[in-house]
Structure 1
Amino acid sequence: MTLTPHDQLILSVYIVTFVTGLPANILAFYTFSVKVHHKPAPIDILLLNLSVSDLIFLLFLPFRMVEVLSGMRWVLPYFLCPLSNFIFYSTIYISTLFLMGVSVERYFGVAYPIRYKINHKPMYAIMASVFFWVISTAHCSIVYIVQYQKPGNGTQNVSICYEDFTKEQLNILLPVRFEMFLVLFCTPFLITTFCYISFIRILLSLPNISRRRKQRAIGLALGTLLVFNLCFCPYNISHVVGFVKWQSPTWRVDALLPSTFNACLDPIIFYFSSSDVQNRVRNCISGVLGRIRAIGFCKRPSSSLHSYQADTEQL
């Protein structure tokens, strides 16, 4: 089947996200798993959960690729349709909540350092993580409710996955989407913005921190806010537009594309948030370069031997 330029764009975004995001998140998951196992810290627990969410999203992304390759028609077993959409949307809001949690951790660390050290308990991060997973998946279970809602005409187009909603389905779906915009996007975004602006303001006023560390911390804060705006804002704006017009926007698929990139942008946040991730990345790069040099070194004697044999034959 020949893909339209629009479908080619969607497929390209999915492939780039999968190829770059999967190895980066596997590396992050391994690093944070080791850290949490040996010495659990709240921020490491939050980042570990964020990497788990991204990995789940990436593992289900090939189902979306198959859908695009099939001309946006669902050719896989039908039970995978609501499941893949449930995973797709849940991980979006799990990311917003965990990014908010990381911002709160960083803000408390500079605003209330003494109290933060006293109450620096991993159990709080675990409880927050459970809450984030539950509230996200509970909201996104609307996918199952809507997908199996009996349409008014008594038939259901099983070749189209989670599109072409009936009036009855929209009456359920649109209010929930608007609530998700308020609860799962606006609230985390406002809290994250407040925490990082306050974090930057306090950090700039501290004289005993080097300029390089300040610049890196500020860059991380601004980068996280940028991810919020670029990745999550377009999709959530579609909820507002859909609620006002009382219809599912046709450009909603395009608004989802930036949120897809979040899975390969989160590892950048992991890298600048953890020195362990930085060391692990450096070790991986040095290991790969070492293997390349070893392969090149092994080939040199062989090439020299062939050269020697050729010279001997000429003599």
Structure 2
Amino acid sequence: MAWTVHLSNLVLGVYGFTLVTGLPANILAFYTFFQKVRQRSTPMDVLLLSLTISDLVFLFFLPFRMVEAANMKWTLPYFLCPLSGFIFYSTIYNSTFHLTAISVERYLGVAFPIKYKLKRNPRNALIASVVFWIMSMAHCSIVYIMQYHNHSNPNFTDPSTRDTCYEEFSPEQLQILLPVRLELFAVLFCTPFLICCFCYIKFIHILSNLPSINAKKRYRAIGMALGTLLVFIICFMPYNISHVVGYVNRQSPDWRVYALLTSTFNACLDPFIFYFSSSALRGTFKNVLEEVARRLVLPCCRTTLYCPLLNCSSAEEKTQSSTDSTL
């Protein structure tokens, strides 16, 4: 991949947007699920907390990639190159595992409501989360292998002297890397995606045939299911298809960098899926938005005769009533 000014600006824009929107949303989600797990956890809470941690780790290492894009070459200490790549790709596949487990949890909850409720255990979700982390990290350890593979060859360039990060591969390296990428496509993307499709299609079908469920709850649950499938299609599918194209052509496709950009959006889209999945998170978001609106709008009401965002008189009355009750 050859860096250009246009590509650098595009990468910085996408990464910057993901960081600015994803970081506060995931911090709120982490606080909410951490409190729930401490008090009275469910398997869903454990899975959502683990996925939130994965997204936060991803966002923490994203600035290293932004520095590379800004300089259009790798200028940081070289040990950060395989480390940031390892975290970058591991958290992407970690998300696919967790989103799939959430779909299974949702499907079993509506397909076998009584039987599954008696057997559900947060400990099983914790074990599953640990397995997901191990599997995704074990598969993506290929990043370290590729960065230092063939180091004993006298014609091999010392990685620490390069100004590129996980981009240039020798034919010997590609013989190892391309089959591994194909395996990533089959095991870490296709299998979870098919399971997710099955669970959510059945999930939507069952909900559509249950007239006793509140319409608002039904639409919210269906929105969560469709949102998850869209994340798979928009965020994960292009990048994983590049594995197949690269294997067929025996080289990485030029558009792979653009496909990888869509994967980063997952970190800022996950909180919206959490919003549909957790009433506690909806309450947290609502409280935060109300607090922000109160701090921003009330000063406006005190200094202007008209404020389109809030009824000034009612807002002032509530504020005065709260002050009086405190006194």
TM-score normalised by structure 1 residue count: 0.91
1:235 paired residue among 228, 233, 239: 239
Listed one character per residue, the Cα deviations across residues 98-123 of structure 1 (whole Å, up to 9, x for unaligned) are 00000000000000111111111111
1:197-236 aligned within 5 A: 197-236=201-240
Matched, 1:141 2:138: no
Match of 2:128 in 1: 128
Residues in 2 aligned to 1:275 and 1:13: alpha-carbon distance in whole angstroms: 30
Q: Report the count of equivalent residues.
A: 298
Listed one character per residue, the Cα deviations across residues 96-152 of structure 1 (whole Å, up to 9, x for unaligned) are 000000000000000011111111111110111011000000000010011011265
2:87 is paired with a residue of what secondary structure?
helix
Matched, 1:185 2:189: yes
Matched, 1:150 2:154: no
- The alpha-carbon deviation at position 296 of structure 1 amounts to 4.3
5+ residue gaps, structure 1, are 301-315
Residues in 1 aligned to 2:302 and 2:205: alpha-carbon distance in whole angstroms: 55
Match of 1:104 in 2: 104
Residues in 2 aligned to 1:3 and 1:69: alpha-carbon distance in whole angstroms: 10
Residues in 2 aligned to 1:36 and 1:210: alpha-carbon distance in whole angstroms: 27
1:154 is paired with a residue of what secondary structure?
coil
Q: CA 1:133–1:76 in structure 2 vs 1: closer, same or farther (change >3 Å)? A: same
- The alpha-carbon deviation at position 168 of structure 1 amounts to 1.4
1:1-315 aligned within 5 A: 4-71=5-72, 73-150=73-150, 153-156=155-158, 158-296=162-300
- The alpha-carbon deviation at position 154 of structure 1 amounts to 2.1
Match of 2:324 in 1: none
- The alpha-carbon deviation at position 196 of structure 1 amounts to 0.1
Residues in 2 aligned to 1:295 and 1:219: alpha-carbon distance in whole angstroms: 36
Residues in 2 aligned to 1:33 and 1:295: alpha-carbon distance in whole angstroms: 34
Residues in 2 aligned to 1:160 and 1:9: alpha-carbon distance in whole angstroms: 18
1:3 and 1:69 in contact (8 A); partners too = no
Amino acid at match of 2:104: V
1:238 and 1:249 in contact (8 A); partners too = yes
- The alpha-carbon deviation at position 249 of structure 1 amounts to 1.7
1:234 is paired with a residue of what secondary structure?
helix
- The alpha-carbon deviation at position 158 of structure 1 amounts to 1.6
- The alpha-carbon deviation at position 6 of structure 1 amounts to 2.1
- The alpha-carbon deviation at position 297 of structure 1 amounts to 6.3
Residues in 2 aligned to 1:293 and 1:84: alpha-carbon distance in whole angstroms: 41
Residues in 2 aligned to 1:144 and 1:95: alpha-carbon distance in whole angstroms: 21
- The alpha-carbon deviation at position 293 of structure 1 amounts to 3.9
- The alpha-carbon deviation at position 155 of structure 1 amounts to 1.4
1:174 and 1:246 in contact (8 A); partners too = yes
TM-score normalised by structure 2 residue count: 0.88
Residues in 1 aligned to 2:156 and 2:65: alpha-carbon distance in whole angstroms: 27
Cα-Cα RMSD: 1.5
Residues in 1 aligned to 2:54 and 2:71: alpha-carbon distance in whole angstroms: 27
1:31 and 1:280 in contact (8 A); partners too = yes
Match of 1:310 in 2: none
Match of 1:309 in 2: none
Percentage of matched positions with identical amino acids: 60
- The alpha-carbon deviation at position 9 of structure 1 amounts to 1.0
5+ residue gaps, structure 2, are 305-327
Residues in 1 aligned to 2:171 and 2:145: alpha-carbon distance in whole angstroms: 14
Amino acid at match of 2:288: C
- The alpha-carbon deviation at position 299 of structure 1 amounts to 6.2
Match of 1:303 in 2: none
Residues in 1 aligned to 2:298 and 2:132: alpha-carbon distance in whole angstroms: 46
Residues in 2 aligned to 1:245 and 1:141: alpha-carbon distance in whole angstroms: 23
Deviates more, 1:130-139 or 1:164-173: 164-173
